[in-house]
């Protein structure tokens, strides 16, 4: 089954918008991980939710080269290779 193109515009329904954000965020984090493994690339990705929660991914080599920010870590979700 072939899907049509999705029109890129703001989703007005808050629940649908949150669900879409979560699914796309997870897909983006997965793609970043795959890129780092398949291509032996150093990858870092930072995503902020609409409410300001931080989600991040960094490949293990990239993670060692950077320092973690100091501050409120209670709003952070981190995924590392």
Q: Which domain holds residue 39?
A: 14-80
Number of Cβ within a 10 Å radius of residue 10? 5
Whether residue 7 is contained in a domain is answered as: no
CATH number where 26 lies: 3.40.1810.10
Largest CA distance in the chain: 48
pLDDT of residue 32: 96
Backbone angles phi, psi at 60, to 5 degrees: -60, -40
The Cα–Cα gap between 80 and 41 comes to 14
The secondary structure element, H or E, covering residue 17 is helix 14-38
Quick: pLDDT tens for 15-48: 999 999 999 999 999 999 999 999 999 999 999 9
Whether residue 51 is contained in a domain is answered as: yes
The pLDDT-based confidence of 71 (bands split at 50, 70, 90) is: low
Whether residue 8 is contained in a domain is answered as: no
Whether residue 52 is contained in a domain is answered as: yes
The secondary structure element, H or E, covering residue 63 is helix 60-65
Whether residue 5 is contained in a domain is answered as: no
Q: Please tell me the total count of domains within the chain.
A: 1
The pLDDT-based confidence of 3 (bands split at 50, 70, 90) is: confident
């Amino acid at each position: 089954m072939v899907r049509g193109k999705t029109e890129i515009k703001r989703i007005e329904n808050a629940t649908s918008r949150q669900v879409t954000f979560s699914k796309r965020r997870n897909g983006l984090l997965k793609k970043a991980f795959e890129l780092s493994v398949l291509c032996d690339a150093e990858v870092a990705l930072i995503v902020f939710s609409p409410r300001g929660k931080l989600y991040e991914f960094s490949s293990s080599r990239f993670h060692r080269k950077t320092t973690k920010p100091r501050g409120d870590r209670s709003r952070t979700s981190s995924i590392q290779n």
